[in-house]
Amino acid sequence: MGIVQVGLTALTSKADRLSRFLKQELYFKLNGWTLSALLLGFLMFLPIAEVLWHLTEPTENWEHLRKTVLGKYLIGSVILVLGTTLLSVLVGVSCAWLVACCEFPGRKFFEWALVLPLAIPTFVAAYAYFDLMDRLTPLLLWVRLNVSQSAMITLADTLVYPVTIVVLASVLYPYVYLVGKIAFSHQGTRLIEAAQTLGHRPGSVFWRVAFPLARPAIVAGTSLVIMETLNDYGAVLHFGVPTFTTGIFRTWLSMGDLSGALSLAAWLMLLILVLLLIEKVLRSGAKYHDVGRGAGRPFRRYPLENTKAVLAVFCCLLPLIFGFMIPLARIGLWAVLTAEKVLDSSFPKLILNSLGAASLTGFTTVVLALVLAFTARYFKSEAIHASNRLAILGYSIPGSVVAMGILLVSTQLNYAFDWILTGSFVILIFAYVTRFLAVAWHPIDSGMEKSCDQLNDASRALGTSSWRSLLKINMPLLRNTLVAAGLLVFIDTMKELPLTLILRPFNFETLSTKTFDLTSQAQIPESSVPALCIIMVVILPVIWLNRRMEVRT
């Protein structure tokens, strides 16, 4: 009887907790904040769900696409992702370790300068190295004369991959470098000092202590490199690399097969989901930093002298030269030579379009991200947490796929909202917000977790309204975080190309689309003027954000 009574007591207790949970969830569902957050989350996820719906939908030309080009696009995308990721990790981790943990001439300069390639979009870097393949012509001619013509063609088709990988990695490695530098500087201090005390040399400390502790952060930076590589359109189109993104544009715009393009987009999303699952497994159960006294204190750097110091300078200088100095120098020279031909009365409007779209997107995205993060944390609703995770998936999806999903949704709603949706600026901004919501949401949610959760609980206990808590507590504490999140979205919007090409209104040009249009007309030197404007606009926020990260860490 005692056992039965204990069991009944336990069941009653569980039933009471379940009843309280259901009541709590019901309250949240009926709350205006949570209802709005759920609707926003559903709206942001809708374009992605629309594309996923076409994964199993039969299309007229799908069998032909599957037999002829699907394998080529899959192999091209995988090779490009693997190569760019490996090179970015190699460069980013090496530079981060040297800057964070070693002392050598020029270290303070490289600490902030190595992030500058982020200011150069991938397609602009490709145009800066437009003649890279031409420099390999003597090698191809030698193969043709001494081997065979077919060997030359095979070699030419193969060489585009390492060339494209080098160009992409030269401007994408800062994603790994930034998180790696922070992880190496302020993680596992006690463990690293213990290893030093036990006589371990720098190489042993790196492989046995520092790198394993930094692995979650490095994987997070690597995932950004993967997403940017899959999203790229201008660079891979310029070098002729077959990827899903170029395949989507070719199938849709050249062949006029929207259904086939949607199927390719759905398969690309399936590939991305697999990559995200792999990333989740690699990061599961791992920490970003050591905890405890002294964990945030940077340890004593290893002094490098003579040959080692020269090698360290060379290792840091090489990616900076290829990723920033050479592209900027070539683009700047071309801009000076062609400015008179390109600069006309329409150019100020071009700059205003870009700045206006990026600024409005940054402001709107930060507001929505703040509302979503605040609602989930203030009302402690698991439903909102789940919907937020779905809403921020847009950053994991290439811009071309997001654009196609939005076109499908807008077509279905066109009858009711024709004046809003058809080729409008509103649709373009909505697409940008859907694509970059995660960029603002992650820092805001993280900042709210660290600084605002306990204060929000106290304000609720004191009967303070949710609006007052948001305006008087959360926003002042997150002021710098909100600015940083807005600048991150601003930078990404300025550099976005495929999404803008698809959804821009009629006769609406941005600096990115103007650069692409000029290169499409074989006017690469002329394209340097709008490309240089992009770099000049983006470089100041990049430097400010890097400085801010150094201050915070």
Average pLDDT of the chain to the nearest whole number: 80
Higher model confidence: residue 437 or residue 424?
437
Cβ(190)–Cβ(294) under 8 Å? yes
Q: In this prediction, what percent of the chain has a pLDDT beyond 90? A: 19
Q: Which two tokens stand for residue 263?
A: 């199927």
pLDDT at 7: 46
Predicted confidence (pLDDT) at residue 2 exceeds the cutoff of 50? no
pLDDT at 30: 57
* Alpha helix stretches (DSSP H) within 346-464: 347-378, 382-391, 399-412, 414-421, 425-451, 453-461
Q: Encode pLDDT of 8-30 as tens digits.
A: 455 455 445 544 544 444 444 55
CA 37, distance to chain mean position in Å, is: 24
Q: Which two tokens stand for residue 535?
A: 């770099």
Q: Encode pLDDT of 250-309 as tens digits.
A: 887 777 777 777 778 777 877 777 777 776 676 655 544 444 444 445 567 778 888 888
pLDDT at 354: 92
Of the listed ranges 28-42, 311-325, 334-348, 404-418, the one predicted with least confidence: 404-418
pLDDT at 190: 64
Confidence of residue 200 (pLDDT cuts 50, 70, 90): low
Q: In this prediction, what percent of the chain has a pLDDT beyond 70? A: 83
Q: Encode pLDDT of 49-87 as tens digits.
A: 887 776 666 666 777 777 888 888 889 988 999 999 999
3-state secondary structure of 303: strand
Predicted confidence (pLDDT) at residue 1 exceeds the cutoff of 60? no
Of the listed ranges 71-85, 235-249, 405-419, the one predicted with least confidence: 405-419
pLDDT at 359: 94
Model confidence, pTM: 0.82
Query: What is d(CA 320, CA 117) in angstroms, rounded to the nearest whole number?
Result: 7
Backbone angles phi, psi at 509, to 5 degrees: -115, 145
Q: Encode pLDDT of 466-502 as tens digits.
A: 888 888 888 888 888 899 889 989 999 999 888 888 8
3-state secondary structure of 302: strand
Confidence of residue 240 (pLDDT cuts 50, 70, 90): confident
Predicted confidence (pLDDT) at residue 363 exceeds the cutoff of 60? yes
Predicted confidence (pLDDT) at residue 155 exceeds the cutoff of 70? yes
CA atoms within 13 A on the CB side of 194: 9
Q: Which CATH superfamily is domain 29-48+61-552 in?
A: MetI-like (1.10.3720.10)
Confidence of residue 6 (pLDDT cuts 50, 70, 90): very low
Length of the chain: 553
Strands 102-103, 302-303: pairing is: parallel
Query: What is d(CA 258, CA 61) in angstroms, rounded to the nearest whole number?
Result: 10
Q: Which of 474, 16, 66, 14 is nearest to 264 (CA)?
A: 66
Confidence of residue 170 (pLDDT cuts 50, 70, 90): very high
Q: Which two tokens stand for residue 207?
A: 């492989």
pLDDT at 445: 85
Higher model confidence: residue 95 or residue 147?
95
pLDDT at 525: 86
Predicted confidence (pLDDT) at residue 192 exceeds the cutoff of 70? no
CA atoms within 13 A on the CB side of 36: 12
User: What residue segments make up the domains of the chain, in order of their start?
Assistant: 29-48+61-552
Q: Encode pLDDT of 509-547 as tens digits.
A: 899 999 988 888 888 888 889 999 999 999 988 888 877
